[in-house]
Amino acid sequence: MSPRARTERSDAAASVAELELRAVLDAAVDAVIVIDSHGIIESFSKAAQKLFGYDSGDVVGRNVQMLMPEPFRSQHDGYLHSYLRTGEQRIIGKGREVVAQRRDGSLFPVFLSVGRVAKIDPPRFVGLISDITDRKRVVEALRRERDRAQAYLDLAEVMLLALDSNGTISLVNRKGCEILGWPEDELVGRNWFATCLPPELRAEVQAMFQRFFSGTASPTQYAEHEVLTRGGERKLIAWRNVVLRDERGLISGTLSSGEDVTDQRRAIEALQKSEQLLRDAQSIANLGNYEMRLPDGPSSWSMQMHSILGTDPAGGPLPIREYLARCVHADDRDKLAAAWERLTSDDAPLDIEYRIQRPDGSIRNVHSIARLAQDPEGSAHVVGTLHDMTERKHTQEEVRQTQQRLTQFARLSTMGEMAAGLAHEINQPLTAIANYSQALQRLLATPGAADPADVELALSQISAQALRAGEVIRRLRSFVKNREARTELIDPGRLIEELLVFAEPDARMNDIRIRVECAGNLPPVTCDPVQIQQVLLNLIRNAIDATNEAGSVNREIGLRASLDESGAVEVSVEDHGIGISPEVAENLGNPFYTTKSAGTGLGIAISRSILRAHGGRLAHRPTPDGGATVFFTLPATPGSEK
């Protein structure tokens, strides 16, 4: 074949190849652009014309950067030159998303793939461009939907957990991560049982999980069990479970909601424990409580209320009118009804003791305290307690009687210790009576020797001494007899004066003088005089014993009444005996503790009890020049005249 023929044939082949390439370009769905090594467009397919809004003649021969927005337009030539110089590929041979610009200036996202035409120099490049606007829109919609779904999951106040058939965590929401203490990216993909369950529960819970897949357990099964947080803390979770199915309807996993009920269970347990403690306390204290809506609304009684009243809990609480008629002693109904009326009408707190009569006929003493209250809706109701005081009253009466017997015993014991002095005090007037009687007999036995004046003098002395002895005996009987405690308003000086009838004879028998100092204008005190004199007499007897034991040359006891700093009346007995040792001070007032060989140890203990009942106190301090001063206080009666 001649060279010309070969040339013609070659040109014909090139023409066919070019036509075929044009056909391919025109048939391509994606835009195809061919550029040279300077970025000049050589070919612009029909799809490219449609995509960018340019005719082929508008762009061929121009730089491809015209199809790009800033800043890519300014950077393109530099990138192309860099590639030709270094061979570093940033787009060529790769695909990436970029932004393109249409003829009308609008921007749109495209996916760009660039390839270099082989074995041509200078180089030429082919770009394939596909509009991904719709794809981006779909992806964005899917993203928004995913974010919305994630927001719903994260808004849930319970743990949401998805597991596949192997127990691998495929989904967990924010609340779940918060409860478990794990970040989501570290938790997803882990085995749930090995990661989040205590070792002793893993086999049991995994077996339950497998029953979901076997169909032997309900997929909505409710369960509670503990989980293990990342920090090792145990939390109790209440679960509800459903199974997930694939497109074939086969179970592919589970979706569970878990509520952290740890604090709730603790609160319930604490409440139950508190309620049980309350019931136990009410039972031990025999104290019931009640609530009643006004005016005639529903009521509620505790079990101890029924126990106190002897009523059947099955019958429920009683309205106030029925309660008054059925449970309250007939003699106390009017009193309770009046107190209830004051409570409900005037909001006056109810604090009352009355008697109830149980169905078996037994009578019980009760104490009720109640007040008016309002609930958040503004409805008025009464809340109160009922305390069975029967046993306490019996005990109090027994204690009172025992205290009274002990006090009587102490008085008798004191009188026994003072018997010699009292006998001397009584013997003196009796001796005087005997002497005057003998003298009178002698006068009357001698005819004419009886002067009427002498007879009258003897008779008056006999009468005076008899009255003196009788007064001592009267006061002694009044002091030692068993009697009910009674209080009166009395001057402290009078208390001391009357006491000296008993104290001075005993002091004289022991060669001791009693010095009395009573401050002027002392306020009166309200007390039982006999009991206070018993206290004072006990202190004087102790002072006499302490003086004798010490063999003190200062044989004087000071008896003083004054006002202390608080305004109370203080009565003190001061001796110069052996004083009070630390051991004695520590045990002073303990029953049956005594330093006397024949003592009972009850004197100070009973004295303290008496003073407590009078609102006073007993104490001691050293006497400045040796010995001890024991004193007691009594509240002054305000607003009283001396």
Note the pLDDT tens digit of each residue in 274-290. 667 666 655 666 788 88
Query: Mean pLDDT throughout 19-45?
Result: 80
Choose the weakest-confidence range: 133-142, 219-228, 258-267, 473-482. 473-482
Instruction: Provide the angle, in degrees to the nearest 10, between the axes of the packed helices 419-445 and 452-480.
Output: 160
The answer on pLDDT for 402 being more than 70 is no
Query: Mean pLDDT throughout 151-173?
Result: 81
Helix (H, G, I), strand (E, B) or coil at 198: coil
Separation between Cα atoms, residue 316 and residue 140, nearest integer Å: 66
Separation between Cα atoms, residue 340 and residue 342, nearest integer Å: 5
Helix (H, G, I), strand (E, B) or coil at 491: coil
Measured in degrees and rounded to the nearest 5, phi and psi for residue 541 equal: -60, -45
Confidence of residue 192 (pLDDT cuts 50, 70, 90): very high
The answer on pLDDT for 552 being more than 70 is yes
The closest alpha carbon to 349, from 320, 319, 372, belongs to 372
Which residues touch 580 (CB under 8 Å, ≥6 apart)? Answer: 588, 620, 622, 628
Output the CA angle 631-637-638, nearest 5 degrees.
130
Percentages of the chain per state (helix, strand, coil), in multiples of 5: 50, 25, 25
Query: Mean pLDDT throughout 153-168?
Result: 80
Confidence of residue 81 (pLDDT cuts 50, 70, 90): confident
Give the tokens for residue 589.
Answer: 């007032």
Q: Dump pLDDT digits (tens) for 205-252.
A: 888 888 877 777 666 667 888 999 999 999 998 888 888 888 888 888
Separation between Cα atoms, residue 368 and residue 292, nearest integer Å: 14
Residues forming beta bridges with residue 131, ordered by sequence position = 110
Helix (H, G, I), strand (E, B) or coil at 264: helix
Choose the weakest-confidence range: 6-10, 589-593, 620-624. 589-593
Q: How far is C-alpha 368 from the chain's CA centre?
A: 26
The closest alpha carbon to 607, from 543, 545, 542, 534, belongs to 534
pLDDT attached to residue 190 = 93
The answer on pLDDT for 404 being more than 60 is no
Query: Mean pLDDT throughout 499-528?
Result: 85
The answer on pLDDT for 21 being more than 80 is no
Token match 């609160």: residue? Answer: 267
DSSP state of 33: E
Which residues touch 554 (CB under 8 Å, ≥6 apart)? Answer: 576, 625, 626
Which residues touch 99 (CB under 8 Å, ≥6 apart)? Answer: 68, 69, 72, 107, 108, 109, 110
Separation between Cα atoms, residue 357 and residue 330, nearest integer Å: 9
Task: For strands 159-164 and 124-131, give the pairing.
Answer: unpaired
Task: For strands 299-301 and 350-357, give the pairing.
Answer: unpaired
Burial (CB count <10 Å: 0-12, 13-18, 19+), residue 44: buried
Which residues touch 157 (CB under 8 Å, ≥6 apart)? Answer: 175, 259
**pTM higher than 0.85 for the full model?**
no
Confidence of residue 642 (pLDDT cuts 50, 70, 90): very low
The answer on pLDDT for 545 being more than 90 is no
**246 vs 339: which has the higher pLDDT:** 339
Burial (CB count <10 Å: 0-12, 13-18, 19+), residue 375: exposed
Which residues touch 243 (CB under 8 Å, ≥6 apart)? Answer: 212, 213, 219, 251, 253, 254, 255
pLDDT attached to residue 260 = 87
Separation between Cα atoms, residue 24 and residue 43, nearest integer Å: 12
Confidence of residue 105 (pLDDT cuts 50, 70, 90): very high
pLDDT attached to residue 413 = 56
pLDDT attached to residue 592 = 46
The closest alpha carbon to 364, from 333, 340, 393, belongs to 393
Query: Mean pLDDT throughout 295-324?
Result: 83
The answer on pLDDT for 124 being more than 80 is yes
Q: First CA to last CA across the chain, in angstroms? A: 163
Q: Domains of the chain (ranges plus CATH)? A: 16-131 (3.30.450.20), 140-260 (3.30.450.20), 267-388 (3.30.450.20), 408-634 (3.30.565.10)
pLDDT attached to residue 627 = 87
Instruction: Specify which of 219-223, 413-417, 475-479, 494-498 reaches the highest per-range mean pLDDT.
Output: 494-498
Confidence of residue 388 (pLDDT cuts 50, 70, 90): confident
Choose the weakest-confidence range: 27-31, 162-166, 199-203, 444-448. 444-448
Residues forming beta bridges with residue 513, ordered by sequence position = 556
3-state secondary structure string across 534-585:
HHHHHHHHHHHHHHHHHCCCCCEEEEEEEECCCCCEEEEEECCCCCCCHHHH
Choose the weakest-confidence range: 319-328, 361-370, 445-454. 445-454
The answer on pLDDT for 500 being more than 50 is yes
Choose the weakest-confidence range: 63-77, 82-96, 554-568. 82-96
DSSP H or E segment with residue 475: helix 452-480
Q: Dump pLDDT digits (tens) for 622-638.
A: 888 888 898 999 988 86
pLDDT attached to residue 140 = 78
CA 478, 484, 488, 491 torsion-angle sign: positive
The answer on pLDDT for 389 being more than 80 is yes
CA 128, 132, 135, 136 torsion-angle sign: positive
pLDDT attached to residue 474 = 63
Q: Across the beta sheet with 380-388, what order do the strands follow?
A: 299-301, 287-293, 380-388, 363-374, 350-357
Query: Mean pLDDT throughout 569-574?
Result: 92
Give me the chain's average pLDDT, please.
Answer: 79
**146 vs 579: which has the higher pLDDT:** 579
The answer on pLDDT for 181 being more than 60 is yes
Give the tokens for residue 213.
Answer: 């897949």
Helix (H, G, I), strand (E, B) or coil at 12: helix
Choose the weakest-confidence range: 176-180, 456-460, 482-486, 575-579. 482-486
Q: Where are the alpha helices (DSSP H) in 370-451?
A: 390-417, 419-445
Query: Mean pLDDT throughout 399-407?
Result: 53
pLDDT attached to residue 147 = 65
